[in-house]
Structure 1
Amino acid sequence: MAEVWERQKGESRKAYEAFRIYRDMGAERSLSKVSKKLGKSTTLLSRWSARHNWVERCRQYDEYMEREYLLQQAEERKKMAERHAKQAMMFQNKILERMRSLDPRELSPNDLIRWFDIAVKVERLSRGESTEIQKVEHDGEVKQSHEIGITNKLLADEEARDLVKRLIRKRNAVKRDSDQS
């Protein structure tokens, strides 16, 4: 069965040609524009339009085209998300390669805090949680402590846990030295 915007039974080739022009004008469609384009009278076009239900056919065609457009956009968004996810994973792998070569002892306390904060936020986002769980302030010194229990809960990566444990031990040693002075 033909769609309503295709040639209908009993519709002449000329009437359908005029309808196609009318249909394809979209929001700017008018019988007078079709009349000028084809050199036919608006009276004839009005008769064809009424007899073959052009307004309703165009309404259904417009709805169909809108649905098709939305489906296409959804598919394009899906492809974009997949492409971005692949690119992000490639970038993450490059960063992890670089991170494995870093010696945490060569990182400043500011660097360590920044890396820890980013790691926590990424994990929380990936688990659908808010990233605003704590406020971290620093000016070269660690001012806020992080408990190992929280760290173990928040960080799944063994290397990251070891790095944070070393950071806490180093902070505690520095704190003990400054308390003894």
Structure 2
Amino acid sequence: MWERSPDETNASWNAFCMYRDYGVDRGILKAIALNGISRTRYGVWCKWSAKFDWVKRCGAYDVYLDGLKRAEREREYGEREKMYQKITEKVLSIVEKRLAGFDPEELTQSNVIDWLKNSIDIERTIFGKAHAADGNGSGDGKPISGQLEINFVQDFEGL
């Protein structure tokens, strides 16, 4: 739809491309000014815009570009999710090694519960399952959004 129409002249096609490439807040006067074209061409551009349906074509082009951007964001999100999963596996492996080295008599019930809760919370956050009712105090039940921060404590140094 945003491709060149068979009856579109070189001049009208070039004008359309300048208008199209201006972006979502485009306008004929804006495109003319940006490209250093005389304002006397405004009337001609308006006629071309009506004849070749510039607004509709640019709308379709904007939807197309948005689809490309969304696909890229989804691809990046998938890659990031895989990376977070690998990090979680490494952290759980470190915790497992650390726990194996402890004398069971040295572990308190509180330590074990805290480690377990933190591990579950991290995993739920990574996989998008954390909700406000899970412990941030608001109790609204909405998913928690934001950046996950993992701090490695001294207990993990040297492993």
How many aligned residue pairs are there?
A: 125
Which residue does 2:57 correspond to in 1?
57
* Shift, 1:86, TM fit: 0.7
Task: State which structure, 1 or 2, has the greater radius of gyration over its C-alpha atoms.
Answer: 1
Q: What is the aligned-residue identity percentage?
A: 24
Gaps of 5+ in 2: 135-159
Which residue does 1:72 correspond to in 2?
72
State which of 12, 28, 46 in structure 2 corresponds to 1:15: 12
Gaps of 5+ in 1: 133-181
Report the TM-score, using the length of structure 2 for normalisation: 0.66
CA contact (8 A) 1:5 1:58 kept: yes
* Shift, 1:88, TM fit: 1.3
Report the TM-score, using the length of structure 1 for normalisation: 0.59
Equivalents in 2 of 1:35, 1:116: separation in Å?
A: 67
**Aligned-pair RMSD on alpha carbons?**
2.8
4+ aligned runs moved over 2 Å, structure 1: 33-36, 116-126
Equivalents in 2 of 1:120, 1:91: separation in Å?
A: 14
1:104 aligns with 2:104: yes
| 1:9-34 alpha-carbon deviations (Å, 9 max, x no partner) | 12122211211111111232111122
1:33 aligns with 2:30: yes
Equivalents in 2 of 1:71, 1:97: separation in Å?
A: 39
Of Structure 1 and Structure 2, the greater helix share is in 1
Q: Which amino acid aligns with 2:23?
A: G
Which residue does 2:151 correspond to in 1?
none
